[in-house]
Structure 1
Amino acid sequence: MTLEILTADSLSPLRHGFFTRSGGASSGIFSGLNCGPGSSDQSETVRTNRARVAQAMTLDAAALVTPNQVHSANVATLDTCPPTGSPPPQADAMVTAKQGIILGILTADCQPVLFADHASGVIGAAHAGWRGALDGILENTLAAMEALGASRASTCAVIGPCISQRAYEVGPEFLEEFMDHDTGYSRFFANGRDGRYQFDLPGFGLHRLRAAGIAEASWTGHCTYSDPRLFFSYRRSVHEGQADYGRLISAIRL
């Protein structure tokens, strides 16, 4: 099966992609392009999937770097690819100004965000769940890009497939945590059923990116929860009583 890859005009001509689950070697609940080494999928199958991603990015599998994501606001700056077999960076975003490195982010409802400053030749990739976005992962990615010579006034960012507001039900304590930061964040919540709320994760991500002063920010408009043919979803796997879930990959390179 052919890989099905979503791209964005603002990131072109850089090679990049928000990879769907189509075209992978995994089976069962991981059916398709599961790229998560942390899943309980067969390790060799995950390596095969990741090699297909690297091939689509026209580099070897060793060039594909995905961090150990921990819902933090930490950013790793890469000058080279980590040696084969070494631990990946413990961070939720990566930036580089070097060619030959594929920055990859794994998600299954959280926001994958790809960044590029075409003028300076600096790129970034971030994993932005609600916690990371609230704690500043997007702004920290831009700051790390600036340290490499980028300008946020010429940087674009694209949020890939993630869970949409209609599928993201949260409790009142979730709303309260956001309100403790800024009461204006209430606009990212809609009233739901039984005293619960619907949270607009990509809307919040776009707000934080635009408030940070970048040139352009957009969302592909794809909901991971709502399209099981194309996307893995952690929340959908929980609702369906599955034991685990696949991880989507989003990637960019110079």
Structure 2
Amino acid sequence: MAEPVEINRAPLLEDLPHGFLGRRGGVSTGDVAGLNVGLGSGDEPALIACNRELAAEAVLPGARLATVYQVHSATCVVAEPWPDDARPHADALVTDRPGVLLGILTADCAPVLFADREAGVIGAAHAGWKGAIGGVTDATIAAMEALGARRTSIVAAVGPCIAQGSYEVDEAFAARFVADDADNTRHFRAGREGHHQFDLEGYVLARLRSAGIAMAEGLGQDTYSAAQQFYSFRRATHRAEPAYGRQISLIGLG
């Protein structure tokens, strides 16, 4: 029998159905043991389906789970009850419908959950470095506004992602961010020769605040170093593991 689903919560969202889930509480085995929800992970489809159901029921029982086919873009869509095999290519989704549970999958990238309680509008974004610099969080905020939210009322939380101490990048990577905004140098720390350590969570938080989201927080949890708690693409790569799982972050309106 699987252990209980572990839910990491954000203080800014504490009164809303939400959770940043890890790998604990699922039925998958082997390299992806635990709550693997990645449809493209190579895991058994029946186990993935079970894990997705366990995740949804742990956060908002009876809700309809909506996810997207993530492609590291800055595209945000309004959630609809599409089947899993017809998910739109996007990296963020929003809704104002009660009973819809928005889900974002990650394995080192930053999951971001948004809410405007007054307007009854929520959002979820997958912010890998490409989506983050491309403006996926800005697109999510704009999509929420189109449903009636006000950015001055939106709160946001950045969930578990790869931490700066675990995220080594090369000179070209750092130069791309600095070329976009010279102030981005603050998100890089010197590493070994020709390399830097990138603060993905700090960068995403900075993007949120520069977009006018005054209430934004990060959980400060490192997916790479917590092997028993989270899946990590980079850790699996460094260990030469044949597969890696994906965890899910969820938010809904009850």
Band of TM-score, shorter chain: over 0.9
Percentage identity across paired residues of the two chains: 49
TM-score (norm 1): 0.96
Q: 1:217 and 1:58 mapped to 2: Cα distance?
A: 23
Q: What is the match of residue 53 of structure 1?
A: 55
TM-score (norm 2): 0.96
Q: 2:5 and 2:232 mapped to 1: Cα distance?
A: 18
| Secondary structure class of the residue paired with 2:137 | helix
How far 1:215 moved relative to its partner? Answer: 3.1
Give a deviation string over 1:219-245, Cα, whole Å, max 9, x none.
111000010010000000000001110
| Secondary structure class of the residue paired with 2:185 | helix
Match of residue 5, structure 2, among 3, 6, 15: 3
Contact 2:62 2:99 in 1 (8 A): no
Pick closer, same or farther for the CA change 1:175–1:58 going to 2, 3 Å.
Answer: closer
Contact 2:158 2:201 in 1 (8 A): yes
Q: 1:57 and 1:229 mapped to 2: Cα distance?
A: 21
The more displaced of 214-223 and 120-129 is 214-223
Residue identity in the other structure for 1:148: L
Q: What is the match of residue 81 of structure 2?
A: 81
Q: What is the match of residue 176 of structure 1?
A: 175
Q: 1:134 and 1:103 mapped to 2: Cα distance?
A: 22
Residue identity in the other structure for 2:41: S
Equivalences for residues 5-44 of structure 1 within 5 A:
5-44=7-46
Contact 1:21 1:32 in 2 (8 A): yes
Contact 2:106 2:246 in 1 (8 A): yes
| Secondary structure class of the residue paired with 1:47 | helix
1:161 aligns with 2:160: yes
Give a deviation string over 1:42-72, Cα, whole Å, max 9, x none.
11000000010121133347x1111000000
Pick closer, same or farther for the CA change 1:85–1:22 going to 2, 3 Å.
Answer: closer
Gaps of 5+ in 2: none
Equivalences for residues 203-218 of structure 1 within 5 A:
203-218=202-217
- Structure 1 segments, 4+ long, off by >6 Å, are none
Contact 1:51 1:60 in 2 (8 A): no
Q: What is the match of residue 97 of structure 1?
A: 96
| Secondary structure class of the residue paired with 2:132 | helix
Q: What is the match of residue 252 of structure 1?
A: 251
How far 1:85 moved relative to its partner? Answer: 5.4
RMSD: 1.1
Contact 2:12 2:217 in 1 (8 A): no
Q: 2:41 and 2:132 mapped to 1: Cα distance?
A: 23
Give a deviation string over 1:189-237, Cα, whole Å, max 9, x none.
1110122100010000010000110130111110000100100000000
Q: 2:21 and 2:40 mapped to 1: Cα distance?
A: 18
Residue identity in the other structure for 1:195: G
Q: What is the match of residue 130 of structure 2?
A: 131
Residue identity in the other structure for 2:230: F
